[in-house]
Amino acid sequence: MDRKGRPDVGLKLNRRQFFKVSAAGLGSTGLIVAGLAPTDAHAEVRQYKLTRARETRNTCTYCSVGCGLLMYGLGDGAKNTKAEIIHIEGDPDHPVSRGALCPKGAGLLDFIHSPGRLKYPEVREAGSKEWKRISWHEAITRVAQHMKADRDANVVATNADGVPINRWLSTAMLTASASSNETGILTQKFMRSLGIVATDAQARVCHGPTVSALASTFGRGAMTNSWVDIKNADFILVMGGNAAEAHPVGFRWAIEAKKQRGAKLIVVDPRFNRTAAVADHYVPIRAGSDIAFLGGIINWLITHDKIQWDYVKAFTNASALIREGYGFDEGLFSGFDEKTHKYDRASWNYEFDAKGEIVTDPTLAHPRCVWNLLKAHYARYTPEVVSNLTGSPVEGFLLVCQHLGETAVANKVGTILYALGWTQHTTGTQNIRTMAMIQLLLGNIGMPGGGVNALRGHSNIQGLSDLGLLSTSLPGYLTLPNEKQHPTLETYLSANTPQALRPGQLNYWANTPKFFVSLMKWFWGDKATKDNHWGYDWLPKWDKMYDVLQIVEMMDQGQINGFIVQGFNPMGSFPDANKVARAFAKLKYMVIIDPIATETSTFWQNHGDINPVDPAQIATEVFRLPSTCFAEEDGAIVNSSRWLQWHWKGAEPPGEAKSDQEIIGELFTALRDLYRKDGGKVAEPILNLSWAYANPQAPTPEELAKELNGRALADIPDPADKTKVLVKKGEQLPGFATLQDDGSTSCACWIFSGCWTQAGNQMARRDNTDTGLGNTPGWAWAWPANRRILYNRASCDAAGKPWDPNRRLIAWNGEKWAGIDVPDFKVDAAPETGMNPFIMNPEGFGRLFSVDKLVDGPFPEHYEPMESPIGTNPLHPKVVSSPTVRIFKTDRDRLGKHTEFPYVGTTYRLTEHFQFWTKSVRLLAIAQPEQFVEIGETLAAEKGIHAGDWVKVSSNRGFIKARAVVTKRIKALTVNKQTVHQIGIPLHWGWETVAKKGHLTNRLPPAVGDCNTQTPEYKAFLVNLEKA
């Protein structure tokens, strides 16, 4: 595995070619000397430019498909050569991408060499108009001093109840979803030791709702199946996403299903988009009305008896009884408090028997069983009601119902590909929930070719979610302690260690203490002892969630002084950018860690009406620290299918850029030195933090990856035979099953345990053998325990036989579960034990009724976006939008009305660009050079707008100016008897660019988020349109 992860197969051929080239060189030189060459015209192809270039394996840094890359560097690896990357193409061995790359991946070379790359540490002093180059030493020293001063002044040691909370809110930090797991986990350690709770990663503005929706339904918050598995589908619905546009290479497997299986593909979207261009059918929909559409499907499936009954009865909570008192009336579920706008969720729960187990009615006759409640809830969603709310034609809606309905049998499977079109709504979580319920009704969960496939955004947004880089999270989907609910370790563990709710369930979260104690041992090493509750008091405790909207609100209120921004561009990506700019200007210091120049780092620069600020009025000190990009570092990132793929460094970073690990390492050690030298408030968590890296200023990816896996701190005895040792002291753990709650194991992220065992780095594995159905268990490593399709126990019936013999993933062989995938189940639990397939849920069921897991209801209900184009909710006019929305007063005042802003604006990505980075990539700037908005022909004609005209789109919060793309692909819809026009607004523009300068699209959308996760509502808001 020289050539960094690449088997040495090409070498012989290459050498041959090399000799050939040399001979040719000699030959042609001779000809030139003889004076013959110019007239003797050779017919020669351009020489192959990679013959002896050094090849390095890497993973694409943009999206979560995680395509394999081969990077080619100048020279053959000799020491005297600087291996600048000269070419990047797809890795043909990669099971998902198979050599393909989308335009962004294909243009990575221009990202690495972008003129926007940062090369030296810089500072922008208060009120200054320009950057000043500084040394790393000065940068780190000044930042550390700022941080310490702010922390000493503002960290809160204990709350009013005397609970140690180590909470430092006056400095916030954003973390990078394109950075590696190793950077992520180091950042987690760094932040929490300091007490930072005001923190978020891109997951917040992206797939937050996916985690809450899927976890509350199935037990885990991740894409259920894998990219390649999409090829096993018979029907593919793309709704709430635009897979061809945002995940082109993953989408290849949908095309494969079409070609090989004759699968049908339907797109439901406000725009006839690039996915629709290759779909069998396209159905238009009004942005923000997805629950109406999906709820209508549930109703149709029930009334047409398109239910996979055996599956529903065995594996879902359809038969469970819900306690008395639960109800839904006029848009409100039981338990609503008008004052707080919150629900008391006590009534949204199962009826338990004396043993604390769920009461069920397998006949589904009981009026309070989930099935009957479900039926009643969605009976209102008739096709006509659906069409009236969504604007979708009834025929189109029925087409989707029929196609989905056909998969309600054992040997037909349908899948859904969605992304931010569902998450970025005030009802984001419930959008996804509705689809998850549909898939349960159809028996499509756990099945090859089925699932609810959340197509994640950034290349490692899955990893950063897994690592808990969110305000109230810890690694492995453990929660950060809450000061009220979990004042002590005991209260924390008891609240987070559920009891099984049905007999014989695996109830995997019963192991929470093992995960948590091992995590604490990782945080504080030897300093974490049983006596000090494993350092529990040092962990910061939260009082409320400090998501990005909350953080900006606090900045705007002057409550935050410092802002550390690691690989994130909030100026571009947060909603209501005018408010964001105003908030940033109130900061005392800002620290940017990024490979490229971002609008955030230059929010203080004036760019005319694109950024109309006065630098002299902005006193924020901005430090800009150049970091490496993917090509210049080792590490692993997690793709949407939960694969941890290791990648290798192919070149040195430009200028003085350093890896994030080095930057965090230097910053932490500088801070620790200050605390050691000068003392300071709540210093213990910092001074006691385990930082046992060979070079404390630069922890290596290998060291950190091994910590993610975890190791034994003492000999671990075999539970079956106590005389034997399962894992010797100091050895890497084989997996999370060996984690202990007695402090004898240390593990930074329990779900990643197994990624770097005694056998070595499992994430670096590159065996692409297909064990069947496109499953490649030898390629990299997937959490949990290298399982590739989640809930795969549900691919078999109650007796353990595959529902579809042609989709045999695993099966009960009389002794254990076995097959082509790692069983997502207790391997030796026989079908007769009645253990249910959803092992993370204490009842083992897939939840049609999500009980009390979500804040806005156990069943999804259609609510209008905060800015509704019809201004009412025909289902229940008294409750128009979601009653549990959290919105700050300043933001509520900035909402617009449909009378003034009559059109629905919806923002989205283009396939040529990735968020706000790729405008700095020349190849992509060429492919999509300038900001535009998409307008339907009818609306354009009304306004006298022609293709290519400049238009101004404004909301109650701001405006943008862009070119008009006038298209047949957006049609006016009739909603509640009104004509509704939608305007499509791609989001990629700004002023740090090699493309044409453009406005920040997020000047337009409101700062309000999904009720459960606060993921902002970028997808449906009101705008006006005029010719500019």
Q: What is the 3-state secondary structure (H, E, C) of 928-981?
A: CCCCEEEEEHHHHHHHCCCCCCEEEEECCCCEEEEEEEEECCCCCEEECCEEEC
Contact flag: residue 38 with another protein (CB under 8 A)? yes
When binding is defined by CB under 8 A, the residue of 4, 71, 110, 283 that contacts another protein is: 110
Contact flag: residue 27 with another protein (CB under 8 A)? yes
> Closest approach of Cβ 774 to another protein, in Å?
14
Contact flag: residue 651 with another protein (CB under 8 A)? no
Choices 451-459, 550-558, 599-607, 964-972 (CB under 8 A): range interacting with another protein: 964-972
Catalogue the long-range contacts made by 672-681 (C-beta closer than 8 Å, 24 or more residues apart).
674/144, 674/145, 674/148, 675/148, 678/148, 680/148, 680/151, 680/152, 681/151, 681/152, 681/155, 681/157
Residue among 65, 136, 76, 129 nearest 101 (CA): 65
Which residues in 61-149 belong to E strands, given as ranges?
68-73, 85-90, 122-124, 132-133
Contact flag: residue 947 with another protein (CB under 8 A)? yes
Q: Are 937 and 943 in contact (CB under 8 A)?
A: no
> Closest approach of Cβ 918 to another protein, in Å?
11
Residue type, 215: A
When binding is defined by CB under 8 A, the residue of 55, 122, 229, 245 that contacts another protein is: 245
Contact flag: residue 226 with another protein (CB under 8 A)? no
Within 842-881, the residues that bind another protein by CB under 8 A are none
CA angle 528, 533, 538 (to 5 degrees): 70
Q: Are 549 and 890 in contact (CB under 8 A)?
A: no
Residue among 160, 201, 194, 211 nearest 179 (CA): 201
When binding is defined by CB under 8 A, the residue of 107, 513, 896, 958 that contacts another protein is: 107
Q: Smaller CB distance to another protein: residue 88 or 554?
A: 88
> Radius of gyration (Cα) for the chain, nearest Å?
28
Q: Smaller CB distance to another protein: residue 692 or 947?
A: 947
Q: Are 181 and 636 in contact (CB under 8 A)?
A: yes
When binding is defined by CB under 8 A, the residue of 63, 69, 109, 238 that contacts another protein is: 109
Spatial separation of the C-alpha atoms in residues 384 and 2, rounded to whole Å: 63
Token pair in block for residue 533 = 């509750």
Q: Which residue has the tokens 């797109």?
A: 267
Contact flag: residue 100 with another protein (CB under 8 A)? yes
Contact flag: residue 379 with another protein (CB under 8 A)? no
Q: Smaller CB distance to another protein: residue 282 or 418?
A: 282
When binding is defined by CB under 8 A, the residue of 168, 190, 282, 646 that contacts another protein is: 282
Contact flag: residue 970 with another protein (CB under 8 A)? no
Which DSSP state fits 259? I
Evaluate the CA torsion angle 464, 465, 468, 471 in order and state its sign: positive
Spatial separation of the C-alpha atoms in residues 7 and 242, rounded to whole Å: 36
Pairing between β-strand 932-936 and β-strand 959-967 as defined by DSSP bridges: parallel
Contact flag: residue 836 with another protein (CB under 8 A)? no
> Closest approach of Cβ 117 to another protein, in Å?
17
Beta bridge partners of 757: 760
Choices 81-89, 453-461, 476-484, 572-580 (CB under 8 A): range interacting with another protein: 81-89
Choices 257-265, 577-585, 727-735, 748-756 (CB under 8 A): range interacting with another protein: 257-265
Residue type, 2: D
Contact flag: residue 87 with another protein (CB under 8 A)? yes
Choices 242-250, 331-339, 736-744, 762-770 (CB under 8 A): range interacting with another protein: 242-250
Contact flag: residue 984 with another protein (CB under 8 A)? no
Contact flag: residue 105 with another protein (CB under 8 A)? yes
When binding is defined by CB under 8 A, the residue of 717, 831, 874, 929 that contacts another protein is: 929
Provide the CA 72 distance to its chain's centre, in angstroms: 29
Q: Smaller CB distance to another protein: residue 535 or 990?
A: 990
Spatial separation of the C-alpha atoms in residues 991 and 572, rounded to whole Å: 10
Contact flag: residue 160 with another protein (CB under 8 A)? no
Q: Smaller CB distance to another protein: residue 115 or 503?
A: 115
Check residue 144 and give left, alpha or beta (phi > 0: left; psi -120 to 50: alpha): alpha
Choices 39-47, 509-517, 712-720, 865-873 (CB under 8 A): range interacting with another protein: 39-47
Residue type, 923: L
When binding is defined by CB under 8 A, the residue of 350, 536, 812, 932 that contacts another protein is: 932
Q: Which residue has the tokens 């990648």?
A: 647
Within 443-502, the residues that bind another protein by CB under 8 A are none
When binding is defined by CB under 8 A, the residue of 12, 339, 677, 968 that contacts another protein is: 968
Q: Smaller CB distance to another protein: residue 28 or 976?
A: 28
Residue type, 869: P
- Residues in contact with another protein, counted by CB under 8 A, come to a total of 84
Spatial separation of the C-alpha atoms in residues 604 and 619, rounded to whole Å: 9
Choices 26-34, 120-128, 390-398, 576-584 (CB under 8 A): range interacting with another protein: 26-34
When binding is defined by CB under 8 A, the residue of 139, 249, 583, 1020 that contacts another protein is: 249
Contact flag: residue 969 with another protein (CB under 8 A)? yes
Choices 327-335, 425-433, 966-974, 1003-1011 (CB under 8 A): range interacting with another protein: 966-974
- What is the phi/psi pair of residue 4, to 5°? 50, 75
Cis? peptide before 92, omega within 30° of 0: no
CA distances from 750 to 512, 515, 740, 913 (A): 10, 6, 11, 34
Contact flag: residue 115 with another protein (CB under 8 A)? no
Q: Smaller CB distance to another protein: residue 69 or 186?
A: 69
Contact flag: residue 32 with another protein (CB under 8 A)? no
Which DSSP state fits 45? P
Within 996-1025, the residues that bind another protein by CB under 8 A are 996
Contact flag: residue 22 with another protein (CB under 8 A)? no
Measure CA of the first residue to CA of the last residue in the chain; give whole Å: 58
When binding is defined by CB under 8 A, the residue of 32, 153, 278, 692 that contacts another protein is: 278
